[in-house]
Every structure is written in structure tokens, then in C-alpha cells.
Structure 1
Amino acid sequence: MGIALMFTATVTLAQETFIFTAIPDEDETKLMERFQGVADYLSEELDVDVRYIPVKSYAAAVSAFRNNQVQLAWFGALSGVQARRLVPGSEAIAQGVEDETFHTYFIAHRDSGLEPMDELNESLKGKTFTFGSKGSTSGRLIPEFYVREAFNQSPDEVFSRVGFSGNHTRSLRLVEAGTYQVGVVNFKVWDKELADGNIDEDQVQVIWSTPPYPNYQWTIRGDVNDRFGEGFKDRVTKALLTLEDEELLNSFPRSGFIPASNEGYEPIRKVAEQLGIMD
């Protein structure tokens, strides 16, 4: 009986699935393709079953991480700070090379009359404006910080109408179509869409870029070694840092991944608290 129970426990442990998710910052089809590739890569590198599960919102990604429905997540800076606060012991382990010095672009429809500017100025006042997701670092937190800094007013006081598109791709399309005169989009989404020929520059242009800030990162729960074996967290970290598949990296798009730390995102925590987005 004892041997049988031991065998059953061993089989159960061997069949444990490592699950991860990502914030839904772009078109769902693109995300599924990208992260299924990551799942396949990690499964091969780690020699465990790895599964990606999509979520419908930034908050859902944080909740899944908090509830141990996922053990790893590709978060934006803000959602990562929120998740790590809720799950003591969790760590930021890798970020894109470009995430050390990330930027948000302010974009405008050509008919708005707005032109590229050195700093946010009075010409923006009274325009219609869209953020991305309410929980987005590059699509909400950072641009709101700079709007408030420039005008000493909330976005609702600066703009005639303020919306939340839900993700960067949608923000781009809404401004391109003229539904909103101004919007914000993370620079990697803009650059990739532009390179792929998916932006009509006769309709929309970049008018301002924020100063650099730290953004996306892979965050892992602190209890993964207990569940998947000693050294598992280090193996996941190594797998991410040594990912060299050019097609997979281009899908992010990132040129590679480098080490990250919780301390590197302290500026984001402070801004979120300052704006009242996080207690």
C-alpha cells in the first residue's frame, strides 16, 4: 500500500503543469500566437508541461497570479508591482532589453491640427483623448503622470472627452480613424505596426514621447521550487534570459531578455501611489 501511494504521488508530481499568462495589451490573436510559442519553448527547456492561458483584462492577470492559477506572468510595470505586492516572495526575473528604457508615444489624428512638440502644451487642451487599459503602465499610468505634471490638472480637466480603449492596438486604430483626436500607445507597438505597414501615416502621427521608464517584465511566484522542484525558478530564469529564437523575440517585439529585479520597479510603485492608482 505504501509503495503504491508513493508511486501515485510521484506520477502526480511528474504531471504537474507550469502555467503562465500575460496582460492583454494587444490583439488577442497576436498574443495567442506569441505566447503559445513561449509555452512550447519553455516546455522543451524545462522538461515539464507548460501552458499559456489568456485573460480578458490586466486585473484578471493579477488575480490569476495572486490565486496561484498561474505561476509566471508577463506583466507591465504597474501590474507587476501590484502582483508582487499581493504575493510575497514573488520576483521580477527578466525584462526585455528595451524595457529598461521604455517610452510611451502620444499620437494624434492629422485633422486635430496638432504637430510634434518638445513638451506637452496648451494645444492639447479641449481635444478628445484615449488611454489604453486602466491598468496599463504605458497606456495609462505614465501618460497620466505627465499630463498632470504638464497642466497641474487631471486628464478629465485637460481633455474634452477621455476614454479607455482597452489595449494599445485599439488605441492606435481609434486615433487613426479619428474617433479620438489624441491617444497614447507604447512605442514598441507603434514601431512594429509601422514596420509591418499597418499604420496610415497620412491619418496619424507621433507628436510626443515620454522620458524613459522601466516597463514589462516576467514575474514568477516565490513558491515554484516547492511545487516543481529545487532550482526550478533559476531554470525558468535561465530559459528566459537565453531565449534566442529570432521569430519569437520579434513577436514581442524584443531583441532579447535581461535580468530584472523588484527594486528596479520602485519608481513605478511610487508614481502609482502618488496618482492614487495603488494604495
Structure 2
Amino acid sequence: MLRYLSLTLALLLASPLAAAQTLVFTAIPDEDETRLQQRFQAVADYLAGELDVEVRFIPVTSYAASVTAFRNNQVQLAWFGGFTGVQARQLVPGSRAIAQGVEDPDYRSYFIANQATGLEYHDGDTAPEGLRGLTFSFGSQSSTSGRLMPEYLLRQDLGDSPDELFARVGYSGNHSRTVSVVESGAYQAGVLSYTAWENEVESGNVDLDSVQVIWESPPYPDYQWTVRGDVDERFGDGFTERLTRALLDMDDPELLASFPRSGFIPADNEDYREIQEVAQSLGLLDE
């Protein structure tokens, strides 16, 4: 009998009803996992205080896994990149982009190169021709700043696909690892989020005698908070608006520095139409 009751309790705790008052969120793993856990646990604590519900952050192992967790309702909120946000909203009708960083409407990618290549900073509107023939590392295959927009710009500016442009193409998995593989010489050049580069430099994790920025991309929209469209049914009428307000009101310098962002501003799905169209043009998203 006791065993039966224990099993019943376990099933109840695992059920959606028992978890009804827990808001679960995730984030694309664009940096080291330990650092992400530290960043977003503080965000979970902040949101719990603002919303008066339990809030839990769960890490994921890949960009694709963040989209899968959102689709399967394992998480109701996610800090997505531009492309992963578009993917998630396409898979979950009614989901909405609700907030973005002040910096996100004009986001950029930094192209970096090992100093041994001899490449210098290219102050131009188009990708430098000097990248041609090098070994090159993107970040995650689903990264907006580490793959999607850089590939689009390379094709547009230099006229060839990455496989045609470079001697060898790799995918490091995240921005931090892209810095590492280019710094070590495993790849001669690569591309990553400008905020990730600046964060790594500020943290003392980059040997600037071994790797440097050689080109800054034109701006494009990127990261955003996306929420499932059914959260009001789960947490009560007006919850989406309360959640949005909590994100927009986040002003603790330590919390903001963890993103890093100077603040958050409103966002909506239409802000990411450019990303959707680029992904479709590259065959990475259905029309």
C-alpha cells in the first residue's frame, strides 16, 4: 500500500497540474554551461520575486535542444537567438517574442582570425576577400550570429558557399569555443557574437597576441525572450503582460551584465522577419 501511494505521489508531482505554478525557462547554450547556470539562476530568482510563482532555469546541451524543449512544453519561456526564436515560434503557434536587449535590434557578428594569418582589421561594408582559402569555424549550426547571418553575408559578399570559400569548415558549438579554436590555430578564422567576444576579452579569456577581430558585420536583429502562447491559461489572465513587464523592468546591473545587455525593450514577432527570410533563403527554414 505504501509503495502504491509513493508511486501515485510521484506521478502527481510529474503531472502538468502539479507543476502548474512553476514557470520553467531555458536559454540557448551560447557560452560555457557553468557560466550559463550562474547567469540564469539569478534571473530565475528575480522573476520568481516579481511574478510570485516558482521559476526554474533548466540548461540544454544544444541550440536545437532549446527549441525542442520549447516545442514539447518542457519550458514555457526561452532566451533565444534570432534564428532559434523564429524556429520555436513556427513550431508553437501563438508563441510570442516579448522582449529583447537594447542592443539586439542592431546586433553584429565579429569575424576573427589567428594572428599567424597576417590578416588585419578590414574597415569595409563587405566581408574581406582575405578569408578565402582559410580554415574557418562557425559556432552552432543554429546560431544567428555564429552561423546564419555570417553565412548569408559571406555568400552575398564573396559569391560562394562556405564549402567553396574555405579549405575546411567546422562548427565549434558555441561562441566561447570558437574563440578557443581560432586562438589555438585549430582553425585560422571564425565568427561569433560581438557581445560574446567582448565578454571573453573583459574576462581575460582571450590572448590578443594570438587572435584578433578582422571584420565587423552590418547590423541585424538577434536575441529575444519568447514565451508560449498558452501561459495565461496556465498561470492566469494577464500573466504574459506581467512577465513582459518584469523583463522590461529588469535594471539590476549585475543581472544585465550577465547577458550582457544594458536593458530590455519590447519585441514582437515581426521584428525578426529579416531572420526568417534569410533562413528561408539558405534552405534552413520551410517557407
Q: What's the TM-score, normalizing by structure 1?
A: 0.94
Q: Which runs of 4+ in 1 moved over 6 A?
A: none
Per-residue deviation, 1:16: 2.1
Seq. identity, %: 62
CA distance in 2 between counterparts of 1:161 and 1:15 reads: 48
CA distance in 2 between counterparts of 1:277 and 1:13 reads: 37
1:82 and 2:87 equivalent? yes
Per-residue deviation, 1:13: 6.8
1:277 and 2:287 equivalent? no
Contact 1:96 1:254 in 2 (8 A): yes
The residue matched to 1:60 in structure 2 has which SS?
helix
The residue matched to 2:103 in structure 1 has which SS?
helix
* Equivalent residue number for residue 248 of structure 1: 255
* Equivalent residue number for residue 24 of structure 2: 19
Per-residue deviation, 1:15: 5.9
Per-residue deviation, 1:277: 0.9
* Equivalent residue number for residue 46 of structure 2: 41
The residue matched to 1:100 in structure 2 has which SS?
helix
**Residue identity opposite 1:268 in structure 2:** I
1:212 and 2:197 equivalent? no
1:121 and 2:128 equivalent? yes
The residue matched to 2:265 in structure 1 has which SS?
strand
Contact 1:147 1:155 in 2 (8 A): yes
Per-residue deviation, 1:245: 1.1
* Equivalent residue number for residue 191 of structure 1: 198
Residues 14 and 202 of structure 1: CA distance in aligned 2, closer, same or farther (over 3 Å): closer
Contact 1:15 1:49 in 2 (8 A): no
Return 5+ residue gaps in structure 2 as ranges: 1-11
Aligned-pair Cα RMSD in Å: 1.3
Show the 5 A alignment for 1:8-157.
16-117=21-122, 118=124, 119-157=126-164
CA distance in 2 between counterparts of 1:64 and 1:193 reads: 28
Per-residue deviation, 1:193: 1.4
CA distance in 1 between counterparts of 2:222 and 2:38 reads: 22
Q: What's the TM-score, normalizing by structure 2?
A: 0.91
Residues 14 and 274 of structure 1: CA distance in aligned 2, closer, same or farther (over 3 Å): closer
1:202 and 2:212 equivalent? no
**Residue identity opposite 2:180 in structure 1:** R
Once the two structures are superposed, residues 50-108 of structure 1 have per-residue CA deviations (whole angstroms, 9 ceiling, x without a partner) of 00111111111001111111100000000000000111110000001111100000000
Contact 2:20 2:235 in 1 (8 A): no
Contact 1:97 1:258 in 2 (8 A): yes
* Equivalent residue number for residue 5 of structure 1: none
Return 5+ residue gaps in structure 1 as ranges: 1-7
**Residue identity opposite 2:192 in structure 1:** V
What is the aligned length? 269
The residue matched to 1:20 in structure 2 has which SS?
strand
**Residue identity opposite 1:151 in structure 2:** L
**Residue identity opposite 1:22 in structure 2:** A
1:225 and 2:232 equivalent? yes
* Equivalent residue number for residue 184 of structure 2: 177
Contact 2:135 2:166 in 1 (8 A): yes
Of 173, 178, 183 in structure 2, the residue corresponding to residue 166 of structure 1 is 173
The residue matched to 2:276 in structure 1 has which SS?
helix
CA distance in 1 between counterparts of 2:179 and 2:273 reads: 29
CA distance in 1 between counterparts of 2:24 and 2:235 reads: 12
CA distance in 2 between counterparts of 1:219 and 1:208 reads: 30
* Equivalent residue number for residue 3 of structure 1: none
Contact 2:82 2:272 in 1 (8 A): yes
CA distance in 2 between counterparts of 1:141 and 1:15 reads: 36
